[in-house]
Structure 1
Amino acid sequence: MKRTFFRKLLAGVLSAVMLFSVAPGMAFAADENSDAAKGPHKWVVSDWDQTNTDTYGTAVQSADPNVTILTQGAYSADNNGYNGPYAKPEDEQKVTLEKGSIVREINVLIGPKALDGGSFGVTASLNKPGEDEYLTEMTSDFRPGGDGNIVYSAYDQSNLYTIKEDAVYTIRWEFSMEEQGEGGVIYGEQSLLDNGKVLATTKKVALKDGDLSNDKDAAKVSNRSMWFYNISVADGVKVFTELPKDKELQKPHKYVAKDWITAGGYGAVSKTADDGTAFILKGGELNGDGYAMGPYSKKGNQQLADGPMVQEINVMIDPADEESYVDNNVKFALSCALNDNAGDYRTEMTYCLQKDGDVVNILGTDIKLDKKDVYTFRIVFDRDLFGAVYEQLQVEHRGKLVGETKKAKMSDLDKAGSNHDNASQHRQLWFSSINTKNGVAVYKDVPPYAAEKITLDKETMELVEGASQQLNAVVGPEYTTDKTVSWTSSDDKIAAVKDGKVTGVKPGKAVITAKTTNGKEAVCTVTVKAKPIVLPTGITLSKSSVSVAAGKSVTVTAAVLPANATNKAVSWTSSNRSIATVSNGKITAKKPGRTTVTATAANGKSAKITVTVQPKKVASLKVKTGKRKMTVSWKKDTKSSGYQLTYARNKSFKKAKKNVTISKNKTNKKVIKRLKSRKTYYVKVRAYKKIGSKKVYGAYSSVKKVKIR
């Protein structure tokens, strides 16, 4: 492959300087029918020509399938520079300007750490219409700048944009054509993007070698090559097929008894639960370093390519246990190893737990375990953008983080002949320096933690009959899983209890017991005293007088004073039971008249209310009309004294209103004369009872509407 881009670049083949401008955001709007609308090409390792690696360098697949590592080839005197890998994917060659602009882009790891003092350039070129021959190009150059940062320039123009942080950046080119003469002129535009955000972009400029104003086939210009040059980055340039995305922590394996291997002197496993979810691991034979090897497991295999991988195991720790350790008070050591893609061992991490007085230390960290309980040990491996593998230990106690180590690079992979890319998958998890007598209790899941104690906020309590008070229980320690408390009384007839609320029933003593589901108890002795006698000093009624129609009822309430009087009993009497009766404050009217209702407290204090019983509402009102008269009749009320008949010319009884009194209750008919012909009248009647010198009226009958003849 003959390439002339170095010579052309250094000779100043481009007629215009493409200056950068910083932009907050930008989008390339290709015609929706263009090939570019399908999206730029995604570069993979197979795209890069490897037929002459001495001349054009190498393209190697990283352990991460998303990453290709490019290194440079030989120096080219003709091109005045070092050749790098080039790519001419077949689908790229089919993209032309006929349907709109051509957009090309590539994702590259760039930054002070990524280049580590090195540099590189990358170019995108176009073919002549209908030919596999170079036409024009655009280049991007990345090289060290001041303060250890990286300067990004287009066409060798310095100080255009400074890259301070390592990241996977997108280099984007857009080629377009404007009609001119019989053909057109090719324009170019470059941009640098960070996760879709445009950091810098050149102004659109006409490309000198893209002047096809006399070429009728100018629109048939097509993609040619993508190539790198002058790669002086020690570990090569990393090209990403897709922009990397943060991956979630993989779900850890839940270890059970059957997952562990003991053959060959690696200790023993004994189940403490029928399903193997709780078990004891014990140490085995001593290895060459004098440590007792424990069981190991190859379950839970994960790949770093799938995201951060984690091994997690739940272990019982008892700082006070004086027997479950080996030499130097070591409880056990926990290790986890990594394999390469071939399944061969590459590296490992190990943490040792040592008893130190009342706590257990994790050596080399500031993590201290001071509770007797099950702790979760989580070992996390991750890979950064540069391919380096990091490990971290996290320790949790019932969902709460106790401590974690800093992420540490697996430095043994930096040794001569080793490579971080070789560590790619989980190998095994194992225990060592493990006590052969008691072993280590391990659980698939953190088991519920039973209560160690229960306390009440009161040890004694005094109540009077009928009074209540709340008892509060505290179940400990604070991480106890089941804090259910049951309540009982030694004598419910003296003191009853429900959900900790104690109520005094009668004088005496009773013991209230609070109990956890695993049998821990706390008690409170309750003394119930007799309620003191408080004599009534008076009584009040809710009303001083009341009116009620015969046959109806009304209720009056009585309050014995003081409010805390022991005996609040009230007796009720009526001075005339034929007029109204009373029972527990409910007054029932019998017949029209007046009576006095008396409420009497236990000490003889009383209060009175006057009850007036009104006649019943007049029923069955009838009206017959005659010439300038009407005859009104109704149902008799033998218990009333008489009636009042009212008529008027309007419904509101305001126009031409007349009241007629019938003083005998035996009369239930009245003729009204001298009325106006062809006029409408409204009529109603009510009964009354004469009590002393006053009349007490009942409710009016329904209103009748009549028209006089």
Structure 2
Amino acid sequence: MTELKVNLQGSWKRILAMITVAAMCFTVIYVSPVSASDSDGSGTTPTEATTPAEPTPAEPTPAEIPVTGITLDKTTLNLEVGKTDKLTATVAPENATDKAVTWTTSDAKIAEVKDGTVTAKAAGKATITAKAGDKTATCAVTVKEKTVTPPPADNKTPDSNTVGTTKKPAKATVTLNATKLTMKKGTSTKALKVKKASVKGDKIKAVKTSNKKVVAVTKKGQTITLKAKKTGKATITVTMNSGAKATVKVTVNNKKVVTKKLTMSKKTAKVKKGKKLTLTVTRNPINATEKITWKSSNKKIATVKNGKVTVKKNAKAGKKVTITARTTNGKKATCKITVTK
């Protein structure tokens, strides 16, 4: 029994020794992943270095695509005064970076343009330009006066006194401010004008000369220009939109044209103190060109400049003043003005 006990005690010692060895082996196995080269000699495991992340590359800026061309759906337009039309521009290529279109006109008095919409303002010609990038396209615009339709026939039922007759519409007529004109060779005038038209709103459609070698004629809007080219005679015919016509006989010679008579737009007038009045004069012949001077008989009552009369604020009611227009060759016309409250 004593021997057995001793052996058992010896066995327990061996078992404890084996357990101790096993624990040490476990410790070695746990530490073994760290190599000696990783140790800094301090007995601690160095911290593993962290590799910085690479920056994300920026997206490339897309290349700008320039405009290679621009076209309009119309290259010519014919409009009447007051009418409008739309122009459409096409920019190439479709994927151009900047396809913005700017619109301009060569003469805004003839035709205006806004975002491609053309508005006819007055008779004449203008060019509309569309621009995208450095490319342009144009449209030639021709504006004509409005077509005036003569008044319709009176379709009333005829009474007993007009049975068997048909009343015709009144024929359109036009009167010019002269029927005869004398011009000096080499001169020109814009004095010929329409004095009266029977159709309201009637406008000049065309002007022709019977002899362009003697008198040349041009029309711009409602302005007629006559140019005396050589001595002789010519007949100028003015045709209105209504079809009405009027003529003036022109004689060209080598003599200077001078004023023979001057007529004031008003012979008498009543004007309130502090107010204004505009006077005009008509020459005979209409193409005379002498300088006209204006004068007031009493500047304390009223002053005048180029036909514009101003009555003084302190002028007394009932006072009178005479306004005189005089040409350099001595022809004159007057207007007597009475001041009112």
Alignment TM-score, normalising by the size of structure 2:
0.32
Alignment TM-score, normalising by the size of structure 1:
0.16
Return the structure number with greater relative CO, CA threshold 8 A, min gap 6.
2
> Hey, which of these two has a bigger chunk of strand by percent?
1
